[in-house]
Structure 1
Amino acid sequence: MPMLMRLAQGVALLGRMPSQSFVFSRAMPDLGKPGELTILAGTATELQPLLPSLPAEAATGTIAAFAETGTAHAPVLVLSGPNWTAVAAAIETITAATERPSNIPRDVIQTERWRLPQTPLVFSGKSLRFSDLGVATREFSGRRFRTALQVAIPSDFYADAYGEAAILLDAGYTEAVRPGSRIDIYVNGNIATTVALEASAGGILRHLPINVTLRHFRPGANLIELEAVLLTEADKMCSPGMAASSEPRFALFDTSEFAMPDFARIARRPDLAATSGSAYPYRGSADPVALFIDRTDADTLSAAGTFIAKLAVAGGRPMQIESIADPLVADGRQALFIGAMPQLPTMVLTQAGIDTVSQASWGSAKDVAQGRNTQTALDEWQTRLKGGGWRSAIVDFESWLKENFDISLNSLRLIPEAETPFVPPEAATLLVAQSANPAENATWTVVAAPSPALLREGVAAIADTSRWSDVSGHIAVYDPVDDKVSATPARRFSLVETQPPSFWNYRLIAANWLSTNILFYAVLLVSLAVVLGLATAVLLGKLGRRT
């Protein structure tokens, strides 16, 4: 099995497609389908019945080559040999080209298959010109201008509670653009800031600083979108049949810059965003990653291959995998547990914070729609109960704090609220959970579904780049009806040091931690004020002339 996982990683790293999935089968699949590559891996004796045109060299030595089949324009990749040692050598010819040292940091995240240029990886304070990020100078004559750029940050990014980046904007707009027009900045689909264009006579903006909160940044590639909403009198009077003006009203210059400040670097456990964005902590694991699969059926193997291949692409290199039969063997090691929920050990589910009752009940509804209707009814009843009395007041107050000051009641606790066992929604068909191991010195990630078939389908769905970036927090679930990944943030997490000891880094870590734990900050501030007052009183008592 580790050999097959290594093959999946090698193929994924060579392809780097935005939506890659793997299907393992003992039978020859239908050939010639668009967007599919068929690979035959096995000994010559095993592959001969499937491929009569198997090259004769496979019976005597290692072979890694394409072979023709009876179907037109449908060659298959053959990895074979007289024994499995030779097959492993054939697989290694595929993966060897993707190897790279784990201790050498990457300069870019390779996104060339869906976005150019390559996404630069920023480890500390740095300014990047728009021209280097693929944004060229453009003039625009319409109502809504939009462009985008990508910047990646490392897995130990820890500045989401206080930090701000900046866009130094070089742009221009004519007098036709009326007050009320604006420039919106989005980060990963979330509105980050808005700047109004108020000059009625137009203007040239030279390195206009636009602060962008780091709240929506996540490890890995981040999509930053700039949208200019331009209002003009001509647009108000626009009638059917009237020709649009071709006179430019807005220009964006490629001398604009994106400036990332220095930020704290320390990893969190659990943190699925770091895993999906940079394959942390599996990418840099010194020991082989422990993989637990209770049943090696085709669907479970397919799900495992797809998930591990996606991690390899996120990390930029293949990982060493070692299959285990007992979860106790994984203690002290980075581990993956993949399978249908009833097949996974109860101890692992408990450690991951999953309600063990759901091990048998999840997916037992007649169909997904029934579970969805139940969830909808529960949500409606919860809304009704919140509709009156003191509960409504508390909910309204919490919403007001969140909207106006970005403060939640959880941030006003001295001790974080305990994690409650997570019950997967009936409408969900896939769950990804992460936690520390029992010794709290390694990370365990659980990938589960009600059945092996749903496991394969669910992992293939979240492997799409558009959904993979939503896998974050402590637990993430996929709902096929809404085609959406929902994440549950970790209430409690531990910090894992990743950088050499540094006063500057510790200061930034403390700033972010205190910004998250406001009550601690308030207590510390009051305590320092009391100490300062007492010290001042003692000092004044010893100075001056006594009368």
Structure 2
Amino acid sequence: MIDRTLLAGLLLSVAMVPALAQPAPFDMTPESGLVPPAPIPTVPVPVEVAPEPAPAVHTRYLLPTPSVRLAGEESRHAIVFYLTQAEAESAARLSLSYLNAVMVAPEFSSLGFSINQTSVSRTPIAASSARSAVSVGIPAGLLRPGPNILEIHASQRHRTDCTIQSTYELWTDLTSDGLQLHFDSPEIAGISQLADLAAVGVGVDGHTRLRVLAGDLGDAQTMSAALRLIQQMAIALRVADPRIEIVDALSATAEPGVLDVVIGTAQSLPAELAEMSGAAASGPLVTMASLASGAPTLVLSGPDWASIARSGNDLVAAAPASSSRPRVDLGYPVPLMEGGSAIELAALGANTVEFNGRRFTTRFQFELPPDFYSYRYGNAELALDAAYSSDVQPGSEIDIYTNGQIASATPLLQTDGGLLRNTIIRVPMTNLRPGRNEVDIAVNLNTTSDQACPVGWTGDAPTRFVFSGSSKLRLSEYARAAALPDLRLLTGAAWPYVLDEDVPIAVGQDTESETAALTLAARLATASGKITPLTVTSDTQLAADRNVLVVKPVASITGDILARTGLSDGRAGGIGRDASVLDQFASETIARPLPGALDWFLDRVGLQIDDLRVLPERDQAVGINNSVVLAQARQSEGGIWTVLTAADGPRLVSGINQLVETRHWREINGRASTIAPTDETITATSAANPVLDVTSFSLTNLRLVAANWFSANILMFTALITAACVLLMIATSLMLKQLGRRQ
């Protein structure tokens, strides 16, 4: 009886196996009338997953920022890293750890890596609960001495949602400590040539640190030489925002992304470099020292400070700034676009892509000169080459963003597919700026099949949009002038200081001020690619008719400098004190009749109340408080004065390190920009009455300058037109009186 019971139970269990199996996915194909295509077979790419990579003798960190987010359905990020000859010839492994959003479907999403335009791996994105590590060997011969380009491409699809809005939930995060290049050979560590200086690279935090060991930087001649040399080093390192430290001793051990810099006369060299004293005593000396610590050490020396200042010229000659040696954070080309020029987007890194998602995005960058002055009336043109399928429905559109602001929206009107060949999309230049500009193209695709969204459709949908790298960006002729003060010209191209033969700079007599001055000088050099000729001087020698820089804590700045640059520290008699007392109860809004009707009318015609102002406002004083402040003012005598200050020395150092970060550096504008320790963005104050400086006096340029100026001063333009009409009427009346028949 027991055997029969066991047998019956066994038979019942076997019969229930199909019922207990996982049910097939819910399929709404019969209800929708759509039949999704058969799944496309995929060939897995062999990638070795290594949560704990084997320890390597020599490790290089590659990401030049603390973190990077790859967002959306298609996202890519390129960086540059420099290698020595020994590193390029050595066996290497690339390791990366990442974390992605839980909505990313691993079966349809992948993370790919390419080095020097050669794919090295592609792995599914599947690290939503904890960071995942990937390690892959670099094929022999792929790495090369000097610059190498690493591109990371994320193709991400949503697990369940087929809407455009759902694409904003897709992201993969990378951090600077998780992207590394490992070498197994112990002999390759170290830098022996000046040409390899950029191979110092970045550290675990994504920054490059310069440990400066110099003489008495309180001496004007010593500091002047250090300011020039630090700029030359920043350019040779090919980094964006080097961090400066003033130290008293050399490093005990080598650290990734750290360079020791020794600046001093032959007799002042430290004991570790005593053997170089003889060579330094005979003339300028610039060389990489080989020390027992293994720490990269750059020595700039000579018999006197004049020769030391000249030693940096050999450094620039060995490691110049050029298109063949890009900055480590600029993996794609960033050319200077002159007026009337055009360029294919493929040359800017925006290549041809076949896309089957919901929101296609691509980005490219270009430079504009510091005297770009066509942000009120000018238009650029995007000659778009693209195509889309018949599945794309009305409501789809192509959006163009310039520097993060929407500039153009073009709907896709055809409902049976379309070919966009040399389709002109006009892009207002309102948000363009001197220096580096970013343009994002976003194509929002509404489709019939996405409304049904059957299971697996987010990844299995066929190609519905093709973007061609043959698309072109065209710039019309634009005005060349500068409205000063404007800190964007300083951060974009060190303008106008880089044009001068000698720029006086007043630096506080403390280590913090010296550190801040060196950091600011290095950042100006990396932004412009040029050396600003800075000469340290005292406050009493600053002339109002010259371009001047001041770097000091606010307590060390004289009241006259505060008054000239529009700053207020609250001290008795300080600039802006009377104004703040009088204006403390003033309303922030301008009293005007019928405000609602006026606002409605201005909104309809695309104007603001400031556009109707005839008399300029008065610049209000900018307070220091707990912020670091970068302020600029044009003096009535003609000079441009720029001040970097904070409440005290430590805040000055931490504040300049905040300012030089690329995300903050690009936000600096107006006549003053401030940031507090807890701030995530820059607070900028615009100049109420900027002075126009025309850089070219040709008739064509004067016409373009006038067009931009009148576009910003509408009432003046209206008054001019009215005056011209009145004069025309008077002239016509006088002419008719002379020609008419008299009775």
1:350-499 equivalent positions in 2, closer than 5 A: 350-357=563-570, 394=595, 400=600, 403-424=603-624, 426=625, 429-440=627-638, 442-499=639-696
Q: Displacement of 1:288 after TM fit?
A: 0.8
Match runs of 1:54-203 below 5 Å: 54=273, 56-61=275-280, 63-71=285-293, 73-81=294-302, 84=305, 87-95=308-316, 112-203=327-418
Q: Secondary structure at the match of 1:78?
A: strand
Q: Aligned residue for 2:3?
A: none
Q: Which moved more, 1:147-156 or 1:38-47?
A: 38-47
1:327-353: CA deviation from partner (whole Å, max 9, x where unpaired): 443332211001111111211111111
User: In 1, distance between residues paired with 2:603 and 2:515?
Assistant: 43
1:39 correspondence with 2:261: yes
Q: State which drifts further: 188-197 or 124-133.
A: 124-133
Question: Identity over aligned residues, as a percent?
Answer: 31
In the superposition, the TM-score normalised over structure 1's length comes to 0.85
Q: Secondary structure at the match of 1:216?
A: coil
Contact 2:228 2:309 in 1 (8 A): no
**What is the alpha-carbon distance in structure 2 between the residues aligned to residue 449 and residue 195 of structure 1?**
46
Measured on the aligned residues, the alpha-carbon RMSD in Å equals 3.1
- Partner Cα distance (1:476, 1:90) in 2: 35
Deviates more, 1:19-28 or 1:160-169: 19-28
Aligned partner letter, 1:74: A
Match of 1:533 among 689, 712, 729: 729
Looking at structure 2, the residues matched to 251 and 466 of structure 1 have their Cα atoms a distance apart, in angstroms, of 31
Q: Which amino acid aligns with 1:260?
A: L
Alpha-carbon spacing, 1:546–1:402, altered in 2? closer, same or farther (3 Å): closer
Equivalent-residue separation in structure 1 for 2:495 and 2:474 (angstroms): 25
Q: How many residues align?
A: 510
CA separation in 1, counterparts of 2:706 and 2:614? Answer: 16
Q: 1:339 aligns with which of 544, 552, 557?
A: 552
Q: In the alignment, which of 486, 491, 494 is matched to residue 276 of structure 1?
A: 491
Q: What's the offset of the Cα at 1:546?
A: 5.6
- Shift in alpha-carbon separation, 1:178–1:82, aligned structure 2, 3 A: same
- The 4+ residue runs of structure 1 with deviation greater than 6 A are 358-362, 389-393
C-alpha distance in 2 between matches for 1:358 and 1:168 = 57
In structure 2, do the counterparts of structure 1 residues 220 and 456 end up closer, same or farther at CA, with 3 Å as the change threshold?
same
**Letter of the 2:502 counterpart:** P
Q: 1:390 to 1:416 in 2, by over 3 A?
A: closer
Counterpart check, 1:504 vs 2:700: yes
Residue 304, structure 1, aligned to residue 517, structure 2:
yes
- Measured against aligned partners, the alpha-carbon deviations of 1:343-380 in whole angstroms (never above 9, x if no partner) come to 11211111111125269999xxxxxxxxxxxxxxxxxx
Shift of 1:76: 2.0
Q: Aligned partners of 1:242, 1:206: CA distance in 2, in Å?
A: 29
The answer to whether structure 1 residue 22 and structure 2 residue 248 are counterparts is: no
Q: 1:29 to 1:343 in 2, by over 3 A?
A: farther
Shift of the 242–524 alpha-carbon distance from structure 1 to 2, 3 Å rule, reads: closer
Question: What is the SS of the residue equivalent to 2:240?
Answer: coil
Are the structure 2 counterparts of residues 400 and 21 from structure 1 closer, same or farther at C-alpha, using a change threshold of 3 Å? farther
Question: Does the CA-based 8 Å contact 1:109-1:220 persist in structure 2?
Answer: no
The residue type paired with residue 418 of structure 1 is R
Q: Secondary structure at the match of 1:299?
A: helix
Worse-matched range after superposition: 222-231 or 328-337: 328-337
Partner of 2:443: 228
SS class of match (1:415): coil
Q: How many angstroms apart in 2 are the aligned matches of 1:360 and 1:118?
A: 51
Counterpart AA for 1:292:
A
Name the SS for the 1:39 alignment partner: strand
Structure 2: gaps spanning 5 or more residues: 1-222, 576-584
Residue equivalent to 1:289: 503
Ranges in structure 1 where 5+ consecutive residues have no aligned partner: 101-105, 363-380
Supply the AA of the counterpart residue of 1:307.
L
Distance 1:386 1:445, change over 3 A: closer
Q: 1:68-117 deviations in whole A, cap 9, x for unaligned?
A: 4454x4232233456545544544432455789xxxxx9x7985422244
Alignment partner, residue 581 of structure 2: none
Specify the SS of the correspondent of 1:120.
coil
Q: TM-score, normalised by structure 2?
A: 0.64
Match of 2:462 among 244, 247, 267: 247
| CA apart distance, 1:436 | 1.5
Instruction: Supply the distance in 2 between the matched residues of 1:147 and 1:198 (Cα, whole angstroms).
Output: 22
**CA distance in 1 between partners of 2:401 and 2:458 (Å):** 31
Query: SS of the counterpart of 2:246?
Result: coil
Deviation at 1:186, TM superposition (A): 0.7
Take 2:571 and 2:414, find their aligned partners in 1: how far apart are those partners? 59
Assess, with a 3 A threshold, how the Cα gap between structure 1 residues 47 and 360 changes in structure 2: closer, same or farther.
farther
Contact 2:357 2:458 in 1 (8 A): no
Cα deviation, 1:495-538, whole Å, max 9, x if unaligned, reads 22322x21111111111111111111111111222222333334
Bigger radius of gyration, 1 or 2?
A: 2
Distance 2:598 2:551 in 1: 38
Distance 1:536 1:245 in 2: 74
More relative contact order, 1 or 2 (CA 8 Å, 6+ apart): 1
C-alpha spacing 1:238/1:480, structure 2 compared with 1 (3 Å): farther
* C-alpha distance after superposition, 1:408-463 (max 9, x if no partner): 32222222112122224x4x5211111113412x2111111111111111112221
Give CA-to-partner distance per residue, 1:298-319, whole Å, 9 cap, x none. 2211111111111122222112
Q: How far apart in 1 are the matches of 2:419 and 2:524? A: 45
Q: Give the Å deviation of 1:260.
A: 0.6
- How do residues 257-276 of structure 1 correspond to structure 2 at under 5 angstroms? 257-276=472-491
> Structure 1 residue 5 and structure 2 residue 212: aligned?
no
Judge which range, 209-218 or 326-335, deviates more.
326-335
Q: Is the alpha carbon distance of 1:79 and 1:143 closer, same or farther for their aligned partners in structure 2, counting shifts above 3 Å? A: same
CA–CA distance in structure 1, aligned partners of residues 667 and 325 of structure 2: 19
Distance in 2 (alpha carbons) for counterparts of 1:398 and 1:69: 73
Q: Residues of 1 paired with 2:540 and 2:721: CA distance?
A: 46
Seen in structure 2, the aligned counterparts of structure 1 residues 437 and 70 have a Cα distance that, compared at 3 Å, is same
Cα 1:391–1:69 shift into 2, 3 Å: farther
8 A Cα contact 2:479 2:702, kept in partner: yes
1:182-201 C-alpha deviation (Å, 9 max, x unpaired): 11111111111111112111
Which whole-Å CA distance do the structure 2 matches of 1:121 and 1:67 have between them?
37
Distance 2:534 2:570 in 1: 30
Distance (Å, rounded) in 2 between the aligned partners of 1:386 and 1:354: 20
Query: Could you tell me which amino acid in structure 2 is paired with residue 54 of structure 1?
Result: L
CA 1:401/1:264 → structure 2, altered by over 3 Å: closer, same or farther?
farther
Distance in 1 (alpha carbons) for counterparts of 2:636 and 2:739: 58
Amino acid across the alignment from 1:355: S
- Report what 1:378 is aligned to: none
1:18, CA displacement in angstroms?
2.6
